[in-house]
Amino acid sequence: MDRSPLLDSHALSGARIGARPEAPDHDAVLTFGDVPAEYRAARTGAALFDVSDRSRVTVKGSERASFLHRILANDVLGLEPGSGNRNLLLTPKGKVTLLGDLSSLEEEFEFSLPPGWEARALSAIDMFLFSEDVQLEGSGDEHAPLELVGPQSRAVLSKAVSLALPEDLPDHASIAAPDGVRVERLAVAGIPGWRVDAGPSAIGALYARLVEAGAVPAGVVVRDILRVETGSALFGVDVDENVYPAEAGLDDAFSLEKGCYVGQEVVAKIDTYGGLNKRLLRLAVDHDDPIPRGTRLLSDDGERRELGLVTSWAYSFELDNGALLAYVKRRHQEPGTAFVLSLEGRELGRASVR
C-alpha cells in the first residue's frame, strides 16, 4: 500500500508527519509528540508502529516453493505453512537486491517488503521465472500491518485480538486470530516483537483496540533510535546493492547450508575465506547534534585516512548522546576505536566503536 489508511487521522491527532528515511516518497508518522514516552513504551511497555504502507508480493503456483528456494538466499523448501523467515534476493555477485519477510501459507508465499518496493520486487523476481508453474502478484493493497515491540506487547496484543498468544512462538511463525486477523512473531527494529494484519478495511478498528489495550502509538523517530541502539540494519538506508549481507549483519537472512541460489558462491567464499572489507557497527558520538548520512569516518591522527561511512544517526537514550550505524573498515573495528567525523571538509565531532 502506497499510503497508510490511518495517516490522515494520525495528522488530525497532532502527529508530526514526514518522509520515511527508507522510502522518501512515502510519508509516515515521525512522532506523536512525546518521543521519550514513545521510547519508554518500547523499552518497558508496548509501542505501536503503523507500517501499513509496506509492500507485498504474493507467489502462487505448484512450483512456487522450488522456484523461490532456487533464487532466494534463505531456506524455502523447509518452511511449513504458518512459518517463515527473513530472506534475501542477491545479485550474482552476492550483493543485496531485496530484503524482506517471507511467510509460507497454505496456497502461497507472501514476501513483505519496505514501502515502494512492490514493482521493483516483481521485476527482480520475474527475471528468474521461465516455464515454472509460478504466478507473481503485487498484493500490497491488501497488506496493512501494524507492529508492536516491548515487554508488554504480547499481553497487549493478546487482549486486542482476543487470543492468548504463546510465549514461545518461534521467530516468523504466524497464527490466525479471530475476525481474519493474522499475527506474526518477528523482530521490530532489532527487538523481538509482533506484526499484526487485519487488512485495510479493519485496520482502524484494530489500531483502536490495541491502543485501548495499552499500546502507545510511536513513530519513525523512535523506531530509528531502537534500531541504531541495537545495530539493526534498515534496507534502503543501511543496506543497498553495494552491500554484502554479511557486512550488514544479515546472517539470519541467508543460509550456508541449502546449496545453490543466486549469489551463493560469493556468500560461501566469504564465509570460508573471510575477506570482508567493512562491517556495519554501532558507534557513540561525543555530542547529540545530528550527523548526516554519508559522513566519513577518518582516522584520528595526522593522516586523516578514510576508514568508514555513516549510514544512520539517532539520539540514543541509552547513551544520552548521539549514536551511529556506520560501515567501518577491517582492522579498525575494535571497541573504543576513535574516528573524526567529516563531511565535505568540515569536522563534525568524534565517534568511537561501541
The domains found in the chain, sorted by start residue, are 7-54+143-230 (3.30.1360.120), 56-140 (3.30.70.1400), 277-353 (2.40.30.110)
Tell me whether residue 99 is exposed, middle or buried, using C-beta atoms within 10 angstroms of its C-beta: 0 to 12, 13 to 18, 19 or more: buried
pLDDT at 302: 79
Residues 6+ apart with CB under 8 A from 17: 7, 10, 11, 27, 28, 29, 30
Tell me the pTM: 0.95
| Cell numbers linked to 97 | 537486491
The predicted structure's pLDDT at residue 274: 86
Q: What is the pLDDT of residue 78?
A: 96
The pLDDT of residue 91 is: 97
Q: Which residue has the cell 508502529?
A: 49
> How do the pLDDT tens digits run along the chain, 354 residues long?
789 999 999 999 999 999 999 999 999 999 999 999 999 999 999 999 999 999 999 999 999 999 999 999 999 999 999 999 999 999 999 999 999 999 999 999 999 999 999 999 999 999 999 999 999 999 999 999 999 999 999 999 999 999 999 989 999 999 999 999 999 999 999 999 999 999 999 999 999 999 999 999 999 999 999 999 999 999 999 999 999 999 999 999 999 998 899 999 999 999 998 879 999 999 999 999 999 999 999 998 878 999 999 999 999 999 999 999 999 999 999 999 999 999 999 999 999 999
pLDDT value of residue 3: 92
Q: Are strands 216-218 and 47-50 parallel, antiparallel or unpaired?
A: parallel
pLDDT value at residue 152:
98
Answer for the pair 186, 175: CB distance below 8 angstroms, yes or no. Answer: no
* Cβ pair 304, 253 in contact under 8 A: no
- At residue 68's C-alpha, the angle toward residues 65 and 73, to 5°, is 125
Side chain identity at 346, as an amino acid letter?
R
